[in-house]
A = this chain, B = another copy of it.
Amino acid sequence: MSYTAPVKDMLFAIEHLARIDQVAQIPGFEDAGLDTAAAVLEECAKFNEGVVAPLNVEGDKNPSSFANGQVTTTPGFRQAFRQFAEGGWQGLQHPVDFGGQGLPKTIGAACGEMLNSANLSFALCPLLTDGAIEALLTAGSEQLKATYLEKLISGQWTGTMNLTEPGAGSDLALVRSRAEPQADGSYKIFGTKIFITYGEHDMAENIVHLVLARVAGAPEGVKGISLFVVPKFLVNPDGSLGMRNDAHCVSIEHKLGIKASPTAVLQFGDHGGAVGYLVGEENRGLEYMFIMMNAARYAVGMQGIAVAERAYQHAVQYARERVQSRPVDGSLPGAGPIIHHPDVRRMLMTMRALAEGCRAMATVAAAAYDAAHHHPDAQVAKDNAAFYEFMVPLVKGYSTEMSLEVTSLGVQVHGGMGFIEETGAAQYYRDARILTIYEGTTAIQANDLVGRKTARDGGQLARAIAAQVEQTEGELNASATADARAVARRLAAARQAFLDAVDFIAANAKSDPNAAFAGSVPYLMLAGNLVAGWQMGRALLVAQELSSKGQDVGFMQAKIATARFYAEHILVKAPCQRDAIVEGAASVTALALEAF
């Protein structure tokens, strides 16, 4: 099944919702206006549609394999990754100083979506490399930067994140890997890491592992964790590759999905100790790791949107072709394509509205990231940083949870054929299932949203966002069309529901944490629903305006119809989500432990 990048919808979000014109006023982004965005997206679409997407099914049928410490990736991956690197795609958002293209996230995020729609498994390698680059940029010494950054940014080498251990998943306090300081300033690393994405592969010359470990004598818990660079091959002073380091893949996992992406068990130090180099300062590893994590969390949210878009396209194509039964309204003389059946339309609209809503949310969040990191006005930067921080758990949590629903609907649209692997719909269903888990489960995202992002400031930022939603409601009501009013009505109810939940959480997070956290995931889902619905409301206003001017009327009318569907079928759930959070907390933990 071919993939066509939704360039028009991406540019709509970039131009009208994320306001690329404002991003392009930030020093350093002067050339990153709408024209640049359009040019980059077109080129990116061509590459991903032509080179990466055709490898998606092959990766599922012929996954990465392991033998004798080596991982062989799916045929074609190696060559495609070369093209990816040569095209400069790894460096898209990274600094020009190290060979990157220095583009804003507002543009980069859309490219990330395309790569992931084309091939989730393939895209994971650059995704993890981005995280390693971020960590080194933020906390690496000049020497580490000089040694590793250009090679990572050019795609010559790749990066990994080594957090998880058999006993330490969500709870990094339980990390047991250890680091012994050496006389030359390096460390010897010992331990076992599991679930290491692209921890071993044959697509690049070297792999730069970023590894969490404890220096001997460090405090217990998360305050005693340090971050190390542990390259697969040591690097000589002239930049050439030296000795093989004592970091070895001992197996890869047999997974439900994203099978082409090798998930490695890595053994550090079984032969005397792996050479590692401290990133930043000792015992601040978790802080640095969160830099990588935050970038990766946003990117995984994009994966959710990406797989939703791909599943949607696949389902639409099938629904246009498959002939079965006469439409209930008698609009065809006999059996017709199933896209004529109302329930198939409902499923396709749900898939479409969720993908567009989450894309809009994520694109707006990307612009906030750009302003947070680069805006010259400190207050503007700070406000945007706060907004972006609030958005990260929503982009990650909500977009991935909705991708489970979308990919499941994608199977359902196909009927019995959806259950047959050769159809391809099932692959998205399997692939998507990891997205609500890795880089922090939805519950971890929700804890972050409840604790750090909502309760800590007593719900202040959450209420400020709600006030912005209210402003959009006002604009919708002022425009006075039936569509705008219908959306405004659902938006108002959802905003009120959100505010009630915010009040409940702010009031209970400390005094009755079980009650607040019992509703943490429902609160995340409510917040994500509201913000995506809000962006669809903003989109509707723009689409009405442009449509009335005769600009791209078909596209604009579709946006209006999709926004209204979002409001009436997805946003409409918000008051009930509120009731469960605010009035149902006690029943979550009422059952005695022994009664389960």
Q: Which residues of A approach B to under 8 Å, CB–CB?
A: 164, 167-171, 173-174, 195, 253-257, 316, 319-320, 323-325, 328-329, 335, 339-346, 348-349, 352, 404, 408, 411-412, 415-416, 418-422, 426, 429-430, 433-434, 436-438, 441-443, 446-447, 486, 513-514, 517-518, 520-522, 554-555, 557-558, 561-562, 564-565, 567-569, 572-576, 579-580, 583-584, 587-596
Contacts and interface: CB of A to CB of B under 8 A. Distances in A.
A557 B229 CA distance: 54
A594 B337 CA distance: 13
Given A342-B520, A513-B329, A591 B565 contact: yes
A64 to B, nearest CB: 15
Given A342-B517, A345-B588, A437 B412 contact: yes
B429 A416 contact: no
A212 to B, nearest CB: 16
Contacts of A168: 324
Contacts of A572: 576, 579-580, 583-584
Contacts of A446: 343
Contact of A437 (B416, B421, B568): B416
Contacts of A328: 513-514, 517
A340 B588 CA distance: 11
Contacts of A588: 342, 345-346, 349, 565, 569
A29 to B, nearest CB: 33
A340 B555 CA distance: 49
Contacts of A573: 573, 576, 580
B339 A596 contact: yes
Nearest to A594: B554
B169 A422 contact: no
Contacts of A520: 342-343
B419 A257 contact: yes
A522 B343 CA distance: 10
Contacts of A554: 592, 594-595
Contacts of A174: 324, 335
Contacts of A411: 256, 433, 437
A420 B253 contact: yes
20 contacts: A169-B415, A170-B415, A195-B416, A254-B421, A256-B419, A257-B419, A328-B514, A346-B522, A348-B596, A429-B433, A554-B594, A554-B595, A557-B595, A561-B587, A561-B592, A568-B587, A569-B580, A569-B584, A572-B584, A573-B573
Given A256-B430, A518-B346, A583-B568, A416 B335 contact: no
A281 to B, nearest CB: 25
Q: How many copies does the complex hold?
A: 2
Contacts of A426: 256, 433
A594 B429 CA distance: 26
A342 B569 CA distance: 28
A491 to B, nearest CB: 14
A167 B254 CA distance: 36
Contacts of A344: 443
A13 B35 CA distance: 66
A226 to B, nearest CB: 21
A324 B257 contact: no
A520 to B, nearest CB: 6
A576 B574 CA distance: 8
A592 B408 contact: no
Greatest chain B CB density within 10 A among A412, A416, A446 is at A416
A521 B413 CA distance: 13
Contacts of A420: 253-256
A557 B587 contact: no
A134 to B, nearest CB: 22
4 smallest A-B Cβ distances: which pairs? A568-B584, A576-B576, A558-B595, A343-B443
B408 A437 contact: no
Nearest to A351: B596
Given A169-B415, A346-B522, 11 more contacts: A164-B416, A174-B335, A254-B422, A328-B517, A342-B514, A346-B518, A558-B592, A565-B591, A568-B584, A575-B575, A575-B576
A199 to B, nearest CB: 14
Greatest chain B CB density within 10 A among A340, A579, A591 is at A591
A84 B340 CA distance: 45
